[in-house]
Structure 1
Amino acid sequence: MTDEPRRRGAARTDELLRVTLETAAEVGYAGLNVEAVARRAGVGKHTIYRRWPTMAALLLDALSRVWTTDLDYHDTGDIRADLREQFLRSAPALAAPPIGPVYRAVIAEAQADEALRATLHDRFLRTVEESTLARIKRAQEAGELVSGVDLTFPAEVLCGTLYYRHLLSTRAVDETAVDALLDMFMAAYGT
C-alpha cells in the first residue's frame, strides 16, 4: 500500500493532462496511446476512457490546459497596435514546449484524420479566427478600417500567416514578421 492517497476528480484530471503532454513531447502524437499515458500516470486505461473517448480528445484537452495565452484582444482604439500586441503575446506559446512540438504533431496527424482535423478546428483555430474577426469588425465599426468590406477572409489570412510560419516554416514569428503582415493588412483595409 502506498502512502500517497488516491487522487480523484480535478486533481486526477490535471495529473492525466500533465502526463499526456509529457508523454506526447517524448514520443510524438503517432507514438502516443492510452496505454502509455495510463502506465506513466499509474492508473488503469478505464480511468482515462471515463474522461476522454479518444486519444485525440485527451491530447486536445491537455493542450487547452496549457494554452494560457489570453485570446481576448485589447481594444485601445488602435487596431494595428492591438493586433500587434496580441500576435506577439501569443507567438511564444506556439513556438516553445509544451505546446509547440505537441501542436505541430497534432496538426500533422490531423491531415490523415478528418475527425481530429474537425475537432482541432472547432477547439482551437475557430476560436482564434473568431476572436480576430470580432476585433477587426469593432475597428471597422469605429472607422479604423474601410466600411462595407467582409473581413472574414482577412481575419483568416492574419491568423493563417502566423500559423504557417509556426507550423510549416523555420522562420520566426517575430516583430519584423508581425509588422510586415500588419503593414499589408492596414494598406489594404485601413482608412
Structure 2
Amino acid sequence: MAEEPRRRGAARTDELLQVTLDLAAEVGYAGLSIEAVARRAGVGKHTIYRRWPTMAALLLDALSRAWTTDLGYHDTGDVRADLREQFLRSAPALAAPPIGPVYRAVIAEAQADEGLRATLHDRFLRTVEESTLARITRAQEAGELVGGVDLTFPAEVLCGTLYYRYLLSNRVADETTVDALLNMFMAAYGRR
C-alpha cells in the first residue's frame, strides 16, 4: 500500500487550522497547545512554529478561516430590517462550535496579552464595527436616522451588546433580544 504523500504549503496549513478548530472544540483553550495540535496532526512542532509563532496566532488564523458568514450588510432602504437580518445571520456562527468556543478562548487569552487584544480588535471587532457604522451612516444620509449625530458609539453599542451576549454571557441573543436592541436604537436615533 502506498504511503500518503506529504502535504505541504496551503494544504498543510488548511489541515493544521482545521485540527486546531477541532481540538479547541473538544478540549477548550486550557487543553490546547502547539504540542497537542502537532500530535493530532501527526507533524513536528517545528511545522507549526514555521507558520505561527504562538498558540494565539494559530487560533486567530483558525478563526479567520472558520468565519464564513458575510459581514456585509444588505441595503434594502430599511436600516432596522438590514441590521436585524445581519445580526440574526451572524448569531449561529458566534454561538456555536467551532467559532464560539475558539473565539471565547482567544478573548480570554487576550485579557493577559495586549498584543493579542490589539490583533483581535484589528482583525475581527474593527471589521464588524466599521461595517455596522457604514450601514447606519448610509441610513442617516438617506434620512432614516436623525442627522448631525456621530454614530460611532451607537455602532459600538449595537455590536458590543451582541458580542457580549454571544461570547461572554450565558444569556441568549435570540430574535427577541435583537428586536429589543433595535427598538432602543431606533427610539434614540430613528426619524420621528
Above 0.5 in TM-score? Answer: yes
* TM-score where L is the length of structure 2: 0.95
Q: Aligned to 1:173, what secondary structure does the other structure show?
A: coil
Flag the 1:167–1:27 CA change in 2: closer, same or farther, 3 A.
same
Higher mean alpha-carbon deviation, 96-105 vs 69-78, is at 96-105
1:30/1:109 contact within 8 Å kept? no
Structure 1 Cα separation of the partners of residues 94 and 177 of structure 2: 15
Deviation at 1:4, TM superposition (A): 0.6
Structure 1 segments (4+ residues) deviating >3 Å? none
**Deviation per CA, 1:149-179, whole angstroms, max 9, x where unpaired?**
1000000000000011112222211110000
Change (3 A) 1:153 1:11: same
Q: C-alpha separation between the residues in 2 aligned to 1:150 and 1:23?
A: 43
Deviation at 1:23, TM superposition (A): 1.5
Q: Distance in 1 between matches of 2:47 and 2:154?
A: 43
- Identity among equivalent positions (%) equals 90
Structure 1 runs not aligned, ≥5 long:
none
- Alpha-carbon separation, structure 2, partners of 1:121 and 1:66: 17
Listed one character per residue, the Cα deviations across residues 39-89 of structure 1 (whole Å, up to 9, x for unaligned) are 111111121111112211111110111111100000001000000000000
TM-superposed deviation, 1:28 = 1.8
Please give the root-mean-square deviation of Cα atoms over the aligned residues, in Å: 1.3
Aligned residues: 190
TM-score by length of 1: 0.95
Moved more, 166-175 or 83-92: 166-175
Residue 51 of structure 1 aligns to a residue in which SS? coil
Query: What secondary structure does 2:28 align onto?
Result: helix
CA distance in 1, matches of 2:48, 2:168: 32
Q: Partner of 1:18: helix, strand, or coil?
A: helix
CA distance in 1, matches of 2:56, 2:88: 28
Contact 1:129 1:156 in 2 (8 A): yes
